[in-house]
Each structure stands twice: as C-alpha cells, then as structure tokens.
Amino acid sequence: MIVIPLIKGMLHTLRRFLFGPTFTVQYPNRKRWFIFKKEERKEIPPRARWRIALQRHEDGRERCVACMLCSAACPSEAIYIEGAVNDLSKPISHGERFARVWNWDMGRCIFCGFCAEACPEEAIVMTDDYELARYTRDDLIVYKAELLLPHGTPPRRVWLGFYRELPEEKPVTKPLGVHVRHERYLNRENKGIYKPFYDRAKRAHQFLLEEEK
Amino acid sequence: MNISPELWNWIWLLVKVLVILIVVMVGLVMNMVWAERKVSAFIQQRRGPNRVGPMGLIQVVADILKMAFKEEIIPREADRLIHFLAPSLIFTMAITALAVIPYDPWFYITDVDFALLFVVAAAGMGSYAVMLAGWGSGSKYPLFGGTRSAAQIISYEIPMLLAMMSVSVMAGSLSLQEIVKAQSGLWFCITQFPAFLVYTIAMFAETNRLPFDMPEAEAEIVAGYMTEFSSLRWGWFYAGEYANMVVASFVMTSLFLGGWQGPFMPGWWWFLLKAIAVLFLFLWVRWTFPRVRYDQLMALGWKILIPVALLNLMATAILKVLL
C-alpha cells in the first residue's frame, strides 16, 4: 500500500514540528561555536586566528621595532610598515626603530598567521575578534592605533602562528633573546600533543648549550 | 430616527460582509503567510521569521510594504488588459465563494439552495485567472504554467464535483447550511470516507498546493504563471493562493467536518477551529511531500480518483434509495 509510507512521512514531519530541536543560532544575540559538537562550546577556541593585534610591553612601549619581517612573510602583501628611528629620551618601542605607520589591509589578509610566526619580538598576535565586517573598503585598512592592544592587556605568547595566554607568574616584561625564548618554550608545562617535538627540541637545545661550553 | 426594517437588513448584511472580509483577510490570509513560514521553519528545525513584531507576526505587513514599493514590470509582449485582469480575478473569485459559506447557524451572508454549485463556479472562475495570467504574460514559462493549470483543474474538478455530489446526495440538498445540519449525528468525513479522501486530494490540486503545484513548479518553469508579475500584482497572486486555501478549507469544513456542529462552544468557534486544522493540513502536507510528476498527477486524477468517486457516488445513491 502506498498510503502507509505517506502517513509515516507525515508523522515524521509532525514529530519534527512538535518536538524537534532548533539548530539555528540567533547570531547577534547569542554566539556559539561548534554547536554540532556534543559538548557545547561557549568560547572561541584558544588558537583561533582572526584580527591581528600589536602587543605592548608592560611599561606601555610597543613591541614592534619595524623590522619588516612580517610584511616580508605576508603572502598577500597585507601589511604596510614605515619605520622611523626612536627618540631615545622618549622611546616608542624598545628597539632602535619603531613603526611610524603600521597598516593592515583586512581586505587582502588571508589570516594565515605567518606574520605572527615571523615576528621576532612577539609583537603581532592573532586575536579572537572575528566580527570584521566594515561598510566601506577604506575601512578595511586598519591603522596602528586600532591594532595596538590597550595598555595593560595581558601579554600573549606566539607559537606556530597562534597566540596563547601566558601563565600569570611569567609575564613578559623585557625583550627576550632567542635562547631565552626557546628555553621558555621548551620548559612549558602544558605541552599537549606536541610533547615529542618539545622533547626532541629540548634535547637538541641542551646539546647545543653543552657544545658552547 | 426612523429606519425601515429593510434598511436594517442592508446594514446587517454590510456588517457581516465587513466582518467576514476582515476576519478572512487579516485573520486568516495574512496569518497563513506567517504560519506557512513558521510551520516550514519548525518542520525543518529552524526558527522562522522572528524579528518583526512578536514571533515575527508583523513580518507580513513588512512584506506587503516592501512589495508595494517595488517596481512594476510589464513585459513588452504582454496583453496589457489580461495581464491587468488576472491578479484581480484570482482574488475576487476566491472571496466570492465566502458569500455562501455557513459560519454559524445565524451568521452567514446568504444561504441559497445551489450554494455548492456557486462555490464550484467561483473556484472555476478562479482557475481562469491562472490561465489568463499564463496567456497574457506573453512569455513561455507562464504559458506552460497556464496550460498545466488548465489540464490539472479540468482533471481534478471532476472527482471533486463527484465527491461533493455524493455528500449532497447524503444530505439531500445543495445548500451548505442544509448539509451542515444533516451532519448533526455523524460527520460526513466518516460516513462518506471515500468522498472525504477524494475531496482532500482534489483540494490540493485545485488550490495548486505543493504535491500538485505543477502550474508554478519553480524547479521546472521558474514560477509558472506568476513569472512575469511583479510588485503588488504578484502580491495579489500570492494572497489569492492563500485565499483559495482558506475557501477550500471552509468548504471542506462544511462538507465533511460538520461545519459549526460541536458541543460547548459557539458554532463559529468550531467552524474556525476546524478550518484552521484543515489549513494546518495544507502546510503540513506541503512541507512533507515532494512534487509529483505530471503523468503521475494525471494518472492519479483519472485512474484512481474519478473511479473511486464514481463508485462512491453510485453506492451512496443506491444506499440512500434502499434505506
């Protein structure tokens, strides 16, 4: 009989009508990530790569020293920097130079995170600010004043292009040499799935240190 | 003030017409547009319109405003008179049939003894609107839609009429008020179950609703007969479709579901309740079933519905004579 499957179908839709859960997320009112995962995540994943930001030191100086490595690493040429020499009596950054102009063209950016990875001073971090829509193309070019994190923002570490919140007991206060930074990476407590890489890198690091001695 | 009883009659008639028009237009047609979107959303586990007004109820008003401000485009090849006539015809013919529907033992506009024929005639004129729209647009997809509609309505009006006839044989009258009164014991949807099924299926075809919406099959012929209409004229087609559904549900209620018969509540409450249940059936079916193929549509109409309705009519007549 053809009627039975028809009735079955009707009952199916009726069940959905009466008891079905609603999957729509009312976006501007409620922001939810990965609703199809069983555990409902309320926060953005910690390694999300969205709007970039420029970090500061604890004393308010900028970390960026206008070395241009980020703009060289950028595959889509989204970063434009003009450097200038610091006034030593009132330095803007900790280095010799600082970025007079630091423009990020959001329209070109592909959010790959290479800039954050390339930055030797950990000035660039990728943040979780994903609401990037603008009304005009001109607004898509973001200037330094907007990119700089406000004074007092907790510092973030960059590793493989992602940012991490630092543990509170180890705030970044002064510019770090490559060795020191490496050591800090390698002595991290939470290594996660990258533990084998850490261990190997740590062994290599110690080997190098012993060689130097 | 000395008002003659005849004038009172006229005023009372006017009041009834206004009440029915407002209830049907604002209460049912507009809310059906809202309900269709809401029901489809719930069936598909979405939320539906919920920004304009409480639960999106005023969304329809916003839609009408938007439509009113849209540009009206008339194709160069169109027959201007017919193109103008079709949208107005579909809606007027739909609400014409409201004149003979018995809403309550005392609340109806007229009760003529050929009411059933009047309803069918109005529905038939309404189908002209679809054909004229297809013809008058001077474009091929509307023409396809119009011809499909003509064939479909011819093939489905026959079983619908046969089903109605067996009901009127049961009641012994063509007046809808008499038919409703005849259902004081058992409703005709039980005693005339085959006719009830046939009418239900034919009703979907008559109103161009989804399992049989060949005239406007958007996947095949763009929007069928509505393709070349824009702005408020398209809106009239849209409203006409829902008005047709409302009328079909009213007729269904009074023919098979006992009209205003029912305990505890005033008659028109029962009438509206049953009509809304039928309207929900329209939406429910639309969002459950896919569109049938054209040959399936014709085969269902001619090979199943007409024989079933004919046999049912014969059986009804024989039983009526014998018992």
Average pLDDT over residues A110-123: 83
Residue A46 in this model has a pLDDT that exceeds 70: no
In Å, how far is B47's CA from the nearest CA of chain A?
6
Nearest by CB: A22 against B46, B284, B287: B46
Instruction: Give the C-alpha separation, A179 to A181, whole Å.
Output: 5
The answer to whether the CB atoms of A24 and B47 lie below 8 A apart is yes
Instruction: Give the C-alpha separation, A2 to A172, whole Å.
Output: 73
Average pLDDT over residues B165-183: 86
In Å, how far is A40's CA from the nearest CA of chain B?
18
Give per-residue pLDDT as tens, A156-195: 665 544 444 544 444 444 444 555 555 666 666 655 665 6
Q: Which residues of B157-179 are buried (b: 16+ CB within 10 A; e: fewer)?
A: bbbbbbbbbbbbbbbebbbbbbb
Question: What confidence score (pLDDT) does residue B29 get?
Answer: 85
Instruction: Give the C-alpha separation, B257 to B183, whole Å.
Output: 8
Closest CA to B163 of B185, B193, B208: B193
Instruction: Give the C-alpha separation, B148 to B218, whole Å.
Output: 13
What are B69's two structure tokens?
């401000």
- Is residue A130 within 8 Å of residue A94, measured between CB atoms? no
- Asked which of A101-110, A147-156, B49-58, B303-312 is least confident by mean pLDDT, the reply is A147-156
Above 0.90 for ipTM, yes or no?
Answer: no
- Name every chain A residue with its beta carbon within 8 A of the beta carbon of B200: none
Average pLDDT over residues B57-84: 85
The answer to whether the CB atoms of A10 and B288 lie below 8 A apart is yes
In sequence order, the β-bridge partners of residue A81 are: A102
Residue A42 in this model has a pLDDT that exceeds 80: no
Instruction: Give the C-alpha separation, B215 to B176, whole Å.
Output: 30
- Name every chain A residue with its beta carbon within 8 A of the beta carbon of B289: 6, 9
Nearest by CB: A13 against B46, B47, B287: B287
Question: What confidence score (pLDDT) does residue B311 get?
Answer: 92
